[in-house]
Structure 1
Amino acid sequence: MNDHDAKWVLDELAKLRTDENRVTIDAAIDLIKEQQDEIDSLHGSMEGQLWSPKQWRQ
């Protein structure tokens, strides 16, 4: 999921939030944010490995 997709999902979930489902929706939003942060971190890591001089020599 890219940043745009994640933002759209988060916005749509927020629209569905009611007093009755607030805990569930908030937990889903938090989970998506955490997963997106992890994806972004892994993406940065992979780019770093791809562009490292050590990798170029191999």
Structure 2
Amino acid sequence: MTVGHARGDGSGGDFSLRKIYRSAPPVEGQPIEVSAPEPAAELDALSSLATDFHVRWS
């Protein structure tokens, strides 16, 4: 598996994640950004992950 789409490779297929679920429930009735800022920052970092991949097989 590699990040990005293949360019004319022919052996394998492309796959794209359409949505990364990064929402969190309230913590003690407060939004996670207020009650747990460290985990909230990690959830925000998910948006920087790659979402397009190429899977090869032989």
- TM-score grouping bracket, smaller chain normalisation: 0.3 to 0.5
Higher strand fraction (1 or 2): 2
Q: RCO higher in 1 or 2 (8 Å CA, sep ≥ 6)?
A: 2
In the superposition, the TM-score normalised over structure 1's length comes to 0.35
